[in-house]
Structure 1
Amino acid sequence: MNISAFWLIVLSIWIFILQSRVKDLEKTIQRLKDKKPYTPAIDDETPIAVQENAEENETPQILPPVETEESDETVHHAEVFRQSYDREIQKEPAKPASFIANYFTQGNLLVRIGGIVLFFGLAFLVKYAAEHSIISMQMRLEFIAVAAVALVITGWKLREREGAYGQILQGLGIAMLYLVIYAAAKFYAMLPLDTAFALMFMVVVLGSVLAVMENALPLALFATAGGFLVPILTSNGEGSHIILFSYYVFLNLGVFIVAWHRSWRLLNVVGFLFTFVIATVWGVLRYRPELFNTTEPFLILYFVMYLTISILFTLKHTFKPKNFVDSTLVFGLPLFAFPLQVSLVKPMEYGEACSALVLGTLYLILSRLLGKRERTALLAQTFLALGVVFYTIAIPYLFDADVTASLWSLEGSALIWMALKQEKQYARYFGEMLVLLSIVIYPDSVSFQGISPAEYLGYIIVITSSLIASYLLDSYQRQLSASQRLLARIFLGLSLFLWFTCTPSEFLKLDNMLYSNALLFSLASGAFLLFVVSRVSAWKLLTDTLQGYMLLGILFFFTGMTHTLAHPHPFEGFGALALGILFFLGYLFLYTYGHVWKYTKQIHILSLWFMTAVLMLELRYHAELLHAGKSIVMVAVAVVPVLFSFWLLLPKKYISWMEIHRNTYQFTGAGGLVTVLIFWELTAFRIAPDFSLLPYIPVLNLLDMMQIAVLGTVFYWIYHNRTFFPQNTRTVLYALTVFISVLLASVIFARIVHSFKGVDYTLVALWKNIYFQSGLSILWSTIAIIAMLLSKRYSSRLLWLSGFGLLILVVLKLFFVELASSGTIERIISFIVVGSLLLLIGYFVPLPPNESKEER
């Protein structure tokens, strides 16, 4: 990844966040000042002196005591003080844009515009004169120098005039002096460099002293801007960068001197922008590695000067409360200076890392020193944040991407902890960003190579840091908004994702380990670790998350089984151990947290059904290995749900262990198994008797007996849970069971015909066979008669009507099916037997009985 672009993005985002915070704090303080102005103590017996502005050498106004009530006098003097205080605040332009607008809209407009035009004209004159020899160089420069001195003297004499007339003239004169000295040294070699710099220093001192004495920000701005523009306007594309940067050192020294006495934010920003923008342009166009020794000292010097100026602004600011920060300078300085430093030291090994570490250490030391004073508390916190940022930036320069991500994750979780403890919102944002970046970067840094033990350890560090971040954010929810509270769940989910990204590969290193089993082992080991953490920390979010353990296990199991759908073998390899651990932990979690989980009942049922499915698949696999026929395979599939259903429906005294969820298991749990058995029953109807090792004995064979057992289980489940169903539903369920029973009896008879008469076991072949039709008529008639006889015994009209309906169906079949086979003994037997049975039932139960008691 592009480290330079990355740290620049990180630094820019962080500076933008911190700068927004400082500006918000400044606005809040300003609003508080407007609402509650500072009111001095008033003595009734002493006159009150309010000094409007001692720095402008104005005569103090002496206010005689007013002979009114005390409250009126207090209000009057407080208002006078407020007006004076507001005027002092208004001395400081709020923004460069407003200053420029005021410059061209207030005061003596003509002289302001004229001064600027004159300065540019003189600058162009110097350049033109250098290119075209019109008059001697000495005369040109002497003329401009005399004019500059004259403007300074005239401006000093007119300094009291309205519209800052004199200040503008002085600024223009100082800028012209810069022009003369720079041109004489650079273009004409009339002055040695040391002499030129000495003269420049004198001009810097002159402009700074005049600006401070007159408390004139426009003068300081004009002189400073003019000084910076001189080399730009007179440049011919050649010259030494040493001269240029040395010249700017003296200009910045003037800004520094002014900053020592006046907190002029706009002047600081103008000097800063001129210096670093021009340095950046020169670096892009002209810098070469061999110029390092003559460039690096200037960059360091500029940085130190403006870092000191930003501290002086806070120390010497006149506003109250005195905790202001020049956010533009504080954050803009590293944003400009550090990229320049990186471009200088890029050819050096660990040059970028050492630079970041030095800057981080410097900011941390300053934070420690300034944090002891209330006035600089906000500035100290800002330097602390910048120190952390530069230490963070140093990491990718020192280590590979995977190690960087690991360290960032640790740093991010530590920052979140500190920020939440101190309620620092933007520091928490930075920590969250670091953790998220580490989660994104680390997998990518190791994806193209196998995960080594060291890289797996890095994964564990990132996962742990993400879990810590999730825990901290969840624990301090009162500090977070509703949307921010989702971050705790996001970090937890990302940590789980990383766990399943790296851990299965470690288990796959074992011999005969399948991917599905590796997933299950990863799930079980991770869940157990989370279980331990939840027990130690009482972390509710983690406790609730463990509810998804069994559902995730089911997903992993069937995902791994997709490649063996034809012959699934759950216990293959380490499958038995993996599934055993999975179920053990699942029921351990239920035992521990079942009383607090929201979905406890659903998890119980899901675990039951999943265990049943696993055992059904495993028994089916082993039955197929026996090669004993399809019937044995079908029987093996039904064994587990039949046994589990029977076990769950046992009386209370046999299953006291599940008393709390007994109804859930017996109704919903067993109901799901019964539903599966019904589908199995219908599927088994299609299976012909296929016993490779045993002869087919009607009813007394495994398939028929299992189908009878399944129907008995279904009936018993309906009867056992009859109180949960209304009367109509119970009737439908019983009718459905009877209907399936009739089908089973018919299927058993069909298997007899298939086995002993050699008829194909298909619906078409059996339907065309007269033996099957005759026997089916007799069978259905017998069943109908038994049902009608039982209806008399239990006084059930429904049972009688069911038997009667079946008889009608038999009669219809006799006339529409068997009658087509006229002359056959089978048809004759069918008619005789069915007719006899009808006579028999007409004798014993001619009419449906009256229901004297409720059906059971």
Structure 2
Amino acid sequence: MPKGQSEIRIIWLMVLTIVAVVAWFFDLKVVTYLCGLAFVMSVMHYVDALQQPLTNLATQQQISVQFTSKVPLYISSIVAIIGMSLNWSWLIGLGLTCWIFFFLRWLRRLERYVQQIQSRLQHVVSPVVLQNDLNTATSPPSHSSHSEITLLEQIKQWIFQGNPVLKVAVLVLVVGIILLLRFATEHWQLSLAVKLALVAAVSLVVTGFGVFLQRKNRSFSLALEGLGLAGLFLTLFFAYYNHIIPHIYSASLYFAVIMLLTLYLSLKQQSIELALMAMIIAAAAPFTLPVRDANAVEFVAYYLVINVCVAILTTLRPWKILNQIAFLMTVIVAGSYAFVHGHLQERDTLALLVSAHTAVFIWLGFRFSQLLAKQDVEQFKLKPALDIALIFGAPIVGYIFLYLMYFEKTLWQAGLSLAFAALFAVLYSLAKRNQSVYLISQSYFSLALIFISLIPPILLENEWSVIGWAIEGVLIFVFALYRHSTISRYLAIALLIVAGLFSLYYWVDLAYFPTTMYWLLSLSYVAVVVIANTHEKFQKQITSSTIAFFSLLLIAATSMLLLLLLDYFDGQHQYVLALLGVSLTYVVLNEVLLRCKATWSWLIPKWVGVIPLYFFALIFVINRSHLGEIVWHSQFERLGMAIAGILLSVLWLRPSASVKLEKEWVSLGTLLSLALTSLSLVPTMPYISIMILPLVFCAWCYSQKQNPDWRIFWQTRSSLALVLLWIICSQLFSQHAFEYYVLPVLNPFDLISIAILAGFIWMLSLQLEQDMDRGVIAVLSVLSVLWLSSYVVLRALHIYFQTPYNELAIWGNATIQLSFTLLWVSLAFVTMNYASQKHLRPLWILGGSILMLVTLKLVLLDLSHIGTLTRVISFLGAGFVMLIIAYIAPIPEAESKALKS
């Protein structure tokens, strides 16, 4: 098992334990029980994951190993769950005790089998081979000395490598300085100026002492210098915001002196660590103030000074990581602060400051291209994920801030776009002279085109600007496909996202519903997906991230088209017409694109895009439900729902090759579509109606023995979950289970239940081919048989003896419990007798599990809650049948013993 997965499992178990304990103390016992159940299932799955490799290894080495069945564990879990539901503490304790016993026995046998396999391998594999494998397994992986260090790796080195005690000490001392300054401000009897002067003097001495130790211990020296500079920064802030330094100009002068000292020491000692430490302390200093918060202009201006110092450092030294961290801090910290604390009257000043920040980072990107042209390629490599992201990110983020600040001034926004485009056109003309930075020069050219492309939509008014964004996004996406331009494709994606976001704004802001805007926006989204799949050379350019974006586009387009068609059609048929219209559109597009040989770039977005249709149909069916029936307002609605389900089924089944490749998705969608169609057959009994066509489809797939590919539908976990959901919900919530009741079994609900049970057992048998845990299959088989057969008897008793039905009173009713006992024992008898005759040991164990449940029921329930006569009959009847089973249906021998005999 991979180390990462093992650690995740352990963390998951710890989280469950903590949540369970906390919930218990807060008297949330339901949460505790759920966490306990999740813990039990997770531990069993965890140990099963350990057992599986041993099974494979034993098979390879031809070692006869029979692992213990997990059926007793599942039965113990079920007993504990029943105790939780009935609030019987003694039953919970019994279930948990049995579970712990069987689990420990399972682990003990697992350990014994591990020892057997190890002893067998020691005789087969030579010691030399084992030693070589051990050396190979324990040798650390080699890394190239020339490998590039990423931003994350660099941060890990600074945090976890070197002298960790020294780093922790510096961090603790910085916090101590902050606390000291707060304490001095509030409590010391000396004047505040004297207090801060003493702290500044000590900080300056510490910095000087660090410079003095530079030649003896570089790491310790840099730590002292960073600590001293941090003290100076913090002291300056406390002095200014406590009005010891009264003027902003004086404070700025002192701050510039400290920053110049920091720059000098960093450049002289070639220490990026010192520069990074000083930059982070300076950025965090405003949040340590005890008196008042800085306003937005002060805060953004302060960060501008930090960025200017970073620009000076990285202009002289190729320390790209300072640019990246400074950019992230500016956008996240300064941008968030200005958004929260900014005021409308400060807009012009903030716009100038944002422009200055943007200019600094644009300069850093340009300077980076110059350094790249001078440096050796092996020493200074380009990393598009970080460097190109910074080149694009800084101007685009700056433009977004400025755009939002002047959201209603379209002419100003258009002029801003033109200015940015002109700036990057100039930078492109300067950068293209160096052939070694071709990629960066093309980035400047792309930025110039991006800002020019923003001008036409900006000049349009209100919802027409959204239409402009969408149409331009489609055109640029088509251009990107023809020119194989990745940057243009990303630009088109950004424009389409902007169009969607602004459409939500105008939906809320405008006094009327912008129908034209949403029609064109939804058609633009659909057009992008369709055009990208019409040609093979287009499909080759589509990446997994683009497919995910297509999926989101179709979800949005489907939702918008449904709402637009609802608005377009009037009358009681508008829901069905909207559903039919969108479904038919998908089917037509699917056939067209299949002729264009579209593959996953269409199939996955198609499957995701139809999800809103199912939610829409579910809401519509719920709206038409009354007293457990579906009341259609007209035959057209009923027929339209059936046609819509058929269209969706065709959509999932075309192409048929996708069934093998994505069987879970296709099975889920097909069965839901058939169920939707089937609802229109018998609307007065929806729980019966919903399963008619799926059952017919199941029978047809079972009959296709010459073409077993159709059975894939029923090998999926999704189909198993859907059928299991029907088995549970239909018996509990159906209000028409007694319609047309003639005799037990000879009535519609019992017949459909037995048919579903047969299909479910067949599906469980198919799960054996999918390596599903045999214990889970056995437990589901037993519970499904007991559940449905018990309800058949329960309905019969309710008809003939007026016993309770779907009430808690059934657990105390003597007639019901006696019937359950005799029914379960009979099922066990039939199962075990058949298994004994056919020598099917697993089936016999299945019947034995039913017999064990009967025994538990007799001891735990019948012994205390049932009248005398029925209790006697229950025990005598169960005991008599068990006696017969013991005589005529003994347990079949294991396969290994049978072979030996």
TM-score, normalization: structure 2? 0.39
Higher gyration radius (CA)? 1
Could you say which structure has the greater relative contact order, defined with CA pairs below 8 angstroms and 6 or more residues apart?
1
TM-score, normalization: structure 1? 0.41
